[in-house]
Structure 1
């Protein structure tokens, strides 16, 4: 997460340079790449044992980070739009595949009961990296510039790979540990299971609805950044501050509400509560509209607040709950099905939402109207979250005795 959050504002400053009208192009390119990579990833999962799979996947992205350094040194000559499409696609693929693979691995080595107890703590560790990464960027970007940040990101990713390989080895040595064997199966299994497994269908819908809300906020903030910041450094600093605020909120949730909710009430509630928060938040923005307000002497745009809260709950509560639920599905679903939902389905949602936002903007829709549409999406997401958390094809939850009386919501 440190590696990703060092380069995230570098990516976002490119989208901020061109505004939301270019986001459909960015997300469309990402979606096409995801569709092409899905069978390739399925082939790797089917044929390679866990350690080589981790090594090859993370190693590929480390090499790519180093290859982008000279490109960013020539950003002005290449152009923000051209470099933006390439780097935006790559970073999106990097984030989704690396993070999805990490959590597939976590779901592979922990049981359901263990996951509900420790996944919020593991996510908190990731949030620590997500806080440290923006701090590193904030300290270094004005001193060394944008391109050298990629070298720092590559170093952080290399350290994470070393730790993952060590953890995999330790798990395989434990009684009952697995990982020496390849998962096998079809390279198209991730796509096929989306239609055959109710839980994956619910997760795909929840991904689309949740992504719709997050991408709507992202597109509106991109327009704000384009209008208010003229250079790459100031845009990078602005997006970096958004990441810091988001991750602070996520860390607070993971230290307080999320562990209690997952252990005492079950992982399903970790999907329902954020959906309700999004519903209330978007309804408020629909009534109030855009603009800014004063906060400790600073002018804070309401759109930035919406993005921080929606993403903070997504990282601080939804993500640990989702990954805890994936411990209750077969291994092939954890890697192939989960990866397809969190990569191709996610970016399909990005493409649809950004295209819809651009179209509605052309029709004259403002912030309040778009937020009202988002309120309807949040209401649908709440219904789907309830169904996903108690899907009939999930294996029984190995709860502690104190948790056995927790039932699904009526």
Structure 2
């Protein structure tokens, strides 16, 4: 009787789930473990992300250029051997190894931050900043590659959206955990929570390996994850971008995204460094930003993203984030001018200085617009190019070009400060730079529309050996 009741309950659960997602009963176990895998993975990374941001300020925001440069160098150095391991090791061994090595690193960081003398603590914090920036890129790429391996294309179209919700909820949970516990247990101890969540991800992988019977999959069948690119692929991607007008526009747009985002991140770092001096409180501040970004993202993705892109097109989606950046920097410029006066007269927003509260709002809106409209639009840009061009150029643009924008943005910000510009002056100077980003987005959208609506198929596909020499 109890077994019959369990079967009835299970059937009712499947029918209820089928109202939300087109899932077949035989896919139930796989979808549950895939969902839990992505949830625990992003929860783990978003528990750590606010801590990373806080540790980056341990020696002051002026060290950002070196941290971003270190991240770029580490990514270039690590990518080729990572890609080699993906192709050489069976998935059932490779994926747990990646996550278990990450757990060992987290434990080592905890020991270093707790045991090392103050003179070495700063070096440990900076190492963690760079390590996490690379870790964040690769652990998610491993997940995406694994999902592509175990699901067929027709299943992916039906199920990936639902699995993606698991990741978004995991990011929300991780941000909220960091916000609630950073002060009470100490932000460094959040590392243990991340380790536990990573172990849940590893267990989920083991279950999926058993369900899909991929224990004996030969190493040669493994496909490198999107972010795991070899040195040859990087140079091939660079060659394609140099020779193709359309790809240069995409690279320019991504570079501007990294540049403007780093300007805002640097500005935020300076203000946080000036107004919040406790590391745990800083971690809470960054965790709260992450929480509102993820909450706003999931609401807009559910309610508006598809409709906005369908109603207004790719060009609108591409210029939405740059337009918000222009307006945001205008408001931030005014806040930088009048905020100190308001703060001196006792005006605060919660416990934040007025200018930091405005910056937090701009940061949240800009990142929500990225996840909700700009990022889906950037993915759609590659639908008009050949498959090989897509994977070679996209990997290079999403990793190296984006990080290059980060790195140069940090050095440019420090250089402008070095000649005597105030934070308010830098905010004003960033407005026209954001305007250039709007222009690039509009031009890129128009180029994409031309390729989509062009008369001949030879203009619709971007060839591997193009002849165009036009520059953006």
Query: Which of 86, 105, 112 is 2:127 aligned to?
Result: 86
d(CA) in 1 for partners of 2:138, 2:449: 25
Range 77-86 or range 48-57, more displaced:
48-57
1:278 aligns with 2:300: no
Match of 1:377 among 429, 433, 446: 433
Provide the TM-score with structure 1 as the length reference.
0.79
User: Could you tell me whether the CA contact under 8 Å between 2:113 and 2:121 is conserved in 1?
Assistant: no
Per the alignment, do residues 375 and 56 of structure 1 end up closer, same or farther by CA in structure 2, a change over 3 Å counting?
farther
* Alpha-carbon contact 1:20-1:358 (below 8 Å) kept: no
Residue 36 (str. 1) matches residue 36 (str. 2): no
Relative contact order higher in (CA < 8 Å, ≥ 6 apart): 1
Q: Offset at 1:289?
A: 3.6
What TM-score, normalized to structure 2? 0.70
Measured against aligned partners, the alpha-carbon deviations of 1:43-78 in whole angstroms (never above 9, x if no partner) come to 345555666654444443233223322112236635
The reply on whether 1:216 has 2:260 as its aligned counterpart is no
Task: Find the aligned partners of 1:142 and 1:79 in 2 and give their Cα distance.
Answer: 23
State the alpha-carbon separation in 1 of the partners of residues 384 and 91 from structure 2: 19
**Contact 2:237-2:395 at 8 Å conserved across structures:** no
Equivalent position of 2:31 in the other structure: none
CA–CA distance in 1 between the matches of 2:185 and 2:419? 43
Give the number of aligned pairs: 391
Partner of 2:396: 340
Corresponding position: 1:349 with 2:405: yes
1:143 matched to 2:184? yes
For each residue in 1:169-218, what CA deviation from the matched residue of structure 2 results, as whole angstroms up to 9, or x when unmatched?
87899xxxxx9824489642133123315455444322221111111111
Mean alpha-carbon deviation: is it higher for 21-30 or for 49-58? 49-58
Contact 1:6 1:149 in 2 (8 A): yes
Partner of 1:408: none
User: SS of 1:18's equivalent?
Assistant: coil
Q: Report the Cα offset of residue 316 of structure 1.
A: 3.0
Deviations 1:271-324 (A, max 9, x none): 332222223322333455452775578655222222222122223333344345
2:464 alignment partner in structure 1:
none
Distance 1:29 1:22 in 2: 11
- Mark the CA change 1:187 to 1:161 in structure 2 (over 3 Å): closer, same or farther: farther
The 5-angstrom pairing of residues 118-137 of structure 1 reads 123-137=164-178
1:403 maps to what in 2? none
- Structure 2 CA distance for aligned equivalents of residues 160 and 205 of structure 1: 36
Seen in structure 2, the aligned counterparts of structure 1 residues 80 and 379 have a Cα distance that, compared at 3 Å, is farther
CA spacing shift, 1:242–1:233, aligned 2, 3 Å: same
Stretch deviating more after TM superposition (301-310 or 209-218): 301-310
Cα deviation 1:327-353 (Å, max 9, x = unaligned): 666666666644433333322222211
Cα distance change on mapping 1:241 and 1:107 into 2, 3 Å: same
Q: Which residue of 2 aligns with 1:181?
A: 221
Q: Is the Cα–Cα contact under 8 Å of residues 54 and 165 in structure 1 kept in the other structure? A: no
Aligned to 1:205: 252
Displacement after TM superposition at 1:357 (Å) = 0.8
Pairwise CA RMSD: 3.9
Which 10-residue stretch deviates more, 298-307 or 236-245?
A: 298-307
CA distance, structure 2, for counterparts of residue 164 and residue 214 of structure 1: 34
User: 2:293–2:364: 8 Å Cα contact kept in structure 1?
Assistant: yes
Match of 2:235 in 1: 191
